[in-house]
Structure 1
């Protein structure tokens, strides 16, 4: 395909604000010879108590537009009120064939893009997997945006059910999160100290909130008839209660805490584990939308024990085990089983890496995104 015929995609995505994380999949997309990619990110983004500064592109194939946003954290709707004052001018300058939003359809920026997109097709990428009626004006925004959406990229079957229930009737394509395989990869050789380590080492990476089920992991450790240690990387409001529970259960020498790390530090932490755990509990406001740490651990060759919450079972695939939510007894039995069977852990670790290579590389994710955009613009599948 000639350069003049390339599909012009304008993607609006606050998760791509920095050069790491969500930004990385766009490099694979921009490397294609059938698309011309423009990415819009906020100049500053605040999330979970951290502040991220929008960075320019270090890839000549990827055109990044760092724009100021208004209303970044106003009111109870948090992330969903922001919009870009400079978006109208940018859309006129680029004249895209497709506007892609990595934002929820009830967000103000989604409505802004729907109003300003001009001739462009609209592709929405959605994560929200709990159906609930939103307060005004957000329910009306969602209805308006979905009525004018040409293609939905969905993180899970539950997320698809939500947009269907709110009136979307067009095509839907599943899309996962990608993993940076240059950071997340198996250890080349297991250190002797680790190969002779006594007991099972499990770990968790993420926010320390009650809904993530770490209390269940602690209770299971106390019940298990085999030695199990737990390493925790992350921060959050539930940390004090977790530390108290560790003391109550007499697990002080078997549980460690550390704060957030860089991607390289997270990967190194994961490679030090036998198993990663993600035991999210379903509540009225929480259902696991994907579980990015699952695929990061699996990319390191580390199998995952996940709960039945939301998308966790489908993401884990053959690369781990699934236990019922809020069931420390079932988890304790599983820990006893896997602790006594290193061959089983090794086989699940190999399956975990294969799961990522087949479904969650940046190349795989960018291919899905490009195919949806091409289809929305009427150019067929790539």
Structure 2
């Protein structure tokens, strides 16, 4: 086929049901006339107990197709069992050069796309970073989809290795998550809210996300009880671990230093972040949990707030120079770090701008769109700009490394 026609891409992505989260990364394609991008999203989506209705299909840079799905919820495998009854007709109508799946390779929709793709090259975007044998028929589905994948978009080196171990041998482009810089801005870039509470004395920490044991909040509480300097913590989120956290807070006598509040809008989360010295993400590795990205990291850093992260999964790679890393499940080490940075305002002053730079150079929507375009062009055999060639086919640890557990709202 002549390259006179723009490269036509069909991107199938349930996370893009929401404009605020999943669709913003497609906007830069409005300035890419060589790309004709079509986005397929479910009309409704079930996630964390909520039913989400797709935003209207009028986004810049992409033609959005809002389509009904079957099997929208089916127990613990609900995210991976849905299919689009109208996908065959749409693909025949569009005749894409590339089909891009923002779905895991064992999902039924991935199988559906691989069977219907015809001449299109398949690009797969993956997050799962724990290698485990899947029950039938999902293991067979994964191997089939990976055999028919022309290019892999990977959130982390661990996610790449999972696909390699299950038979994928092709090129890889690393991809991160973009952050909404219109919402997550440094405090000095937005007007002060007269309703903001006064800042407590000492080091001010924050956590945003689901309240589950694997997120390591118990370690943060234990560390706070050990510090010699005053440390306060605000927790934004909800989850099954909340009663245990409240009991732990009372047992450690931290009731006047820890604030818990429920889910908040992104703008409200940004205001909370403006009052912090550091955000914490202390996820613990388990047989079922290894942090895949930690989107709240880049949201905090976009606000100029450095992050204290654990060694779990992709956290160190995403944090980069914009924070500090401590061993998992080690309150003593965390307490030592908190005392150190509490007494060193210069260190905090250095990490704050570094965190902002980390986002501006690695986690903008433009950077994510560039990674998408690179993979699509490569899969279709089109010319890739010279400066992008070195990341195609690379398995090296990349500066661009989704959390398997949600962040500041149930939809992430």
- In the alignment, structure 1 residue 20 sits paired with structure 2 residue 20: yes
| Number of residue pairs the alignment of both structures matches | 381
SS at match of 2:188: coil
Residues 239 and 321 (structure 1), Cα distance of their counterparts in 2 relative to 1, 3 Å cut: same
Partner of 1:253: 256
What root-mean-square deviation, in Å, do the aligned CA atoms of Structure 1 and Structure 2 show? 1.8
Distance 2:50 2:214 in 1: 20
Partner of 1:338: 341
- In the alignment, structure 1 residue 350 sits paired with structure 2 residue 349: no
Matches of residues 126-165 of structure 1 in structure 2 within 5 Å? 126-165=126-165
Query: Which one is further off, 7-16 or 263-272?
Result: 263-272
Does structure 1 conserve the Cα–Cα contact (< 8 Å) formed by 2:26 and 2:61?
Answer: no
Does structure 1 conserve the Cα–Cα contact (< 8 Å) formed by 2:309 and 2:316?
Answer: yes
Q: Normalized against structure 2, the TM-score is what?
A: 0.89
Distance 1:78 1:84 in 2: 14
Does structure 2 conserve the Cα–Cα contact (< 8 Å) formed by 1:29 and 1:367?
Answer: no
CA deviation vs aligned residue, 1:249-274 (integer Å, no higher than 9, x gap): 00001111111111111111111211
Residues 189 and 104 (structure 1), Cα distance of their counterparts in 2 relative to 1, 3 Å cut: closer
Partner of 2:203: 200
User: Which structure 2 segments of 5+ residues have no match?
Assistant: 386-412
Distance 1:357 1:284 in 2: 34
Does structure 1 conserve the Cα–Cα contact (< 8 Å) formed by 2:28 and 2:61?
Answer: no
Residues 33 and 3 (structure 1), Cα distance of their counterparts in 2 relative to 1, 3 Å cut: farther
Give 1:381 shift. Answer: 1.2
Does structure 1 conserve the Cα–Cα contact (< 8 Å) formed by 2:27 and 2:60?
Answer: no
Give 1:29 shift. Answer: 2.8
Partner of 2:327: 324
CA deviation vs aligned residue, 1:53-98 (integer Å, no higher than 9, x gap): 1112233542111111111221432211111111111111111110
- In the alignment, structure 1 residue 278 sits paired with structure 2 residue 281: yes
Partner of 1:366: 369
Distance 2:367 2:197 in 1: 33
Query: Which one is further off, 100-109 or 339-348?
Result: 339-348
Partner of 1:118: 118
Does structure 2 conserve the Cα–Cα contact (< 8 Å) formed by 1:30 and 1:37?
Answer: no
- In the alignment, structure 1 residue 168 sits paired with structure 2 residue 168: yes
Give 1:187 shift. Answer: 1.0
Q: Which of the pair has the greater relative contact order for Cα pairs under 8 Å at 6+ separation? A: 2
Distance 2:144 2:92 in 1: 22
Matches of residues 95-106 of structure 1 in structure 2 within 5 Å? 95-106=95-106
Residues 121 and 304 (structure 1), Cα distance of their counterparts in 2 relative to 1, 3 Å cut: same
Give 1:49 shift. Answer: 2.1
SS at match of 2:19: coil
